[in-house]
Amino acid sequence: MRIFPLLLCLLIGTGSIARQRPVQDRPNVIIILTDDQGYKDVGFNGSTDIPTPGIDRIAKNGVVFTSGYVSYAVCGPSRAGLLTGRYQDRFGFSKNPLFAPNDPKMGLPLSEETMADLLKRGGYTTAVFGKWHMGAHPDLHPNKRGFDEFYGFLSGGHNYFPEDYTIADIKDARSQYDGYRTRLLRNTERVDETEYLTDALSREAIDFVERNHETPFFVYLAYNAPHTPLQATEKYLSRFAHIEDTKRRTYAAMVSAVDDGVVALLDKLDELGITDNTLVFFLSDNGGPSPHNASDNSPLRGFKGDFFEGGIRVPFAVQWKGMIPSGLRYDHPVISLDIFATAAAASKTSPKNELDGVNLIPYLTGESRDLPHEQLFWRNYEAGKFAVRTPESKQITTAKETFLYDIQKDISESRNLAADEAKRAAELSERVEKWKKSLMDPIFMGLSEDKRYSELHPDRFGK
């Protein structure tokens, strides 16, 4: 990792950075987020059965975070942390929100500034494509949360084939999973889509970039693939005829569809001559739920929903050609919350709220030799479970159990050291107790309370 300063000096010495930087001094920002993708299901983390040349191109052009985390092990809270740069438990977004279009509190509270709010305030044109999941009430709509353009769906998941979009409008929904069958939205208007959903989202993102490339822009490309339902077109399925497991074959096809979109988006940046002035992040919103979608989190233990590594350590890479080194693997722990802080620094815009993330650029260039984080935290309110990660250690605690791992040497969390290292466990628990004081209780009921919520809110979907 200490080769960064030397590498940067060499680049500066040859003048390559100066020649490659365009006139515009604030980079475009693109976040490519997948849904439920396994840690190993990208080439840069060792996938052998699912080629991902587009996603791997980001890694080749930039930096792979081998210890890259998200702030929660399921999608809603994880995305809330990403979009705000703050631990979501600070503002009560501790559960997966329900699909409740009539509830103005069922989603991201208005006290929170989104990354789109920040960048729009800084003069950026902003857009989100795909999964929102930050609330379906009109007050929580993407166009009210800093995004100039929105194309996608409000719920926590969606079907992929247009013929399945059988619910005309949100007012016609009558159950939690009706959100999967609603027609898509362009801003606040329902539209008739004809393409496979992943392809449509890629198409819309590329069109936005082409229309807005002359001024700073922010794209949040929030794919719902490879989240269930497992659905793929023959175009992608035919690439994986060699995979015998039908679930894994469809999952691979869904990842491949995302990768095609990434290739096309990166090609468009090259075509427009803005690659060197675009900061591109790629990550998954949580670990793969292996039993459900046949994802592969190897060599990590656990999966989506866990605070074992398989639930919160994700494929994570960034490129900013000419500004950060390329082809390197960064081993110190970072978290999705850092993306907001990095975007704020790059755009020269000051956040409204105090952030929990840090600007990663000085650590990647070698300007700073410190660690980005001394510790990272997680809370599962309903399960009474906490986790803390330091550079050397990882601890998970419940009311009944403590798991302590030497995470640098034991990435698979195979040997619990809690009984043997009581002093280290106690010290980590003290850190968690201090962090807990900054948190609040959940502000809305979650997915597991769907039935009870409907009983309490009979007007949940409207009349």
Residue 45 has a pLDDT of: 98
pLDDT tier for residue 171 given thresholds of 50, 70 and 90 = confident
**Rounded to whole angstroms, how far apart are CA atoms 463 and 460?**
9
Cite the residue boundaries of each domain of the chain with CATH code 3.30.1120.10: 376-456
Q: Which CATH class is domain 4-17+27-365?
A: alpha beta
Q: Which residues make beta-bridge pairs with 222?
A: 33, 130
Model confidence pLDDT, tens digit, residues 405-452 = 999 999 999 999 999 999 999 999 999 999 999 999 999 999 999 999
* Cis status, amide bond into 458, omega within 30 of 0: no
Task: Return the sign of the alpha-carbon dihedral for residues 68, 73, 76, 81.
Answer: negative
Cite the residue boundaries of each domain of the chain with CATH code 3.40.720.10: 4-17+27-365
**Rounded to whole angstroms, how far apart are CA atoms 63 and 82?**
19
- Six token digits for residue 155: 């719920």
> What is the pTM for the complete model shown?
0.94
Q: Give catalytic status of residue 227 as yes or no.
A: no
Residue 12 has a pLDDT of: 36
DSSP 216: -
Higher pLDDT, 463 or 326: 326
- CATH number of the domain at 376-456, please? 3.30.1120.10
Catalytic residue among 9, 75, 137, 373: 75
pLDDT tier for residue 307 given thresholds of 50, 70 and 90 = very high
Q: What is the mean pLDDT of the chain?
A: 94
What is the β-pairing status of strands 316-319 and 278-284?
A: antiparallel
- Mean pLDDT for 338-367 is 97
Residue 25 has a pLDDT of: 76
Closest CA to 436 of 370, 389, 379, 365: 379
Residue 31 has pLDDT above 70, yes or no: yes
Residue 445 has a pLDDT of: 97
- Six token digits for residue 274: 């803005």
- Around Cβ 391, how many Cβ atoms within 10 Å? 15
Higher pLDDT, 199 or 3: 199
Residue 71 has a pLDDT of: 98
Residue 463 has pLDDT above 70, yes or no: no
Contact 298, 40 (CB under 8 A): yes
b/e code 33-51 from CB counts within 10 Å (16+ = b): bbbbbbbbbbbbbebeebb
Residue 170 has a pLDDT of: 87
- Around Cβ 418, how many Cβ atoms within 10 Å? 17
Closest CA to 114 of 106, 104, 105, 126: 126
Model confidence pLDDT, tens digit, residues 380-398 = 999 999 999 999 999 999 9
Catalytic residue among 9, 133, 137, 242: 133
Residue 6 has pLDDT above 90, yes or no: no
